Amino acid sequence: MTRRGWNGLWLGIMLPTLAGLAGCTGSPDLALVSASDRDSVAQRFDERHDEGTRTVIESAMQLSDKYAQLTAKAADMHESNQELTQENEQLMLQAADLRAKLKQAQSELTNSNELLMDLMGELSLWKQDILGFRHEMRKADNAQLEALLKILEGLGGEAELPEDQAALTMSLAKPPLLRR
């Protein structure tokens, strides 16, 4: 026998033996299928079910109606989903627009606050300048009155000094306090 013949013989003998040892048994035996499995398969094709006197046609009609209802419901839900998606997109655009406006308003508010603080500082300086100017004017008026008094005395005239001349001189020596 040739080498090829021995190989074919060896495969013919060993392959079924190995398959048998591995648990492979060829085609399944239909006799091993349980009776309950056969009954359930038979009931699928039976004209009447256990649910009363419904026929296969009635069951098919009922399932067809359910399918139509579910299809309509799915279409409604799909349409509702599309509407909600569009509304969501519009709200997202509106939110983005409002965020931009909010950011601009916040920057304007910050600038306005800075300007207000600068104006308050300038107002405070202006008040100090005005009060200081008033104090200087009083001093100048007092100096002018004293000069006129000396001129009058030098010409031989008499001048009566008010009783609160000392209080007037003291008030002119200090600048008034600033109030805020």
Quick one: CA dihedral 132, 133, 138, 140, positive or negative? positive
Q: Record the pTM.
A: 0.39
State how far the Cα of 171 lies from the Cα of 77, in Å rounded to an integer: 88
pLDDT band, residue 158 (cuts 50/70/90): confident
For the stretch 32-40, contacts whose Cβ atoms lie closer than 8 Å and that sit 24 or more positions apart, written own/partner, are none
Question: Looking at the predicted structure, is the pLDDT value of residue 25 above 60?
Answer: no
- The position carrying tokens 């090829």 is 4
Q: What is the DSSP letter of 179?
A: -
Alpha-carbon span 50 to 55, nearest angstrom = 10
Residue 58 pLDDT > 50: yes
Q: How far is CA 106 from CA 71, 91, 94, 110, 115, in A?
A: 51, 22, 18, 6, 14
Is the confidence at residue 80, as pLDDT, over 50? yes
Residues 82-123: pLDDT tens digits?
999 999 999 999 999 999 999 999 999 999 999 999 999 999
Are 21 and 15 in contact, with CB atoms under 8 Å apart?
A: no
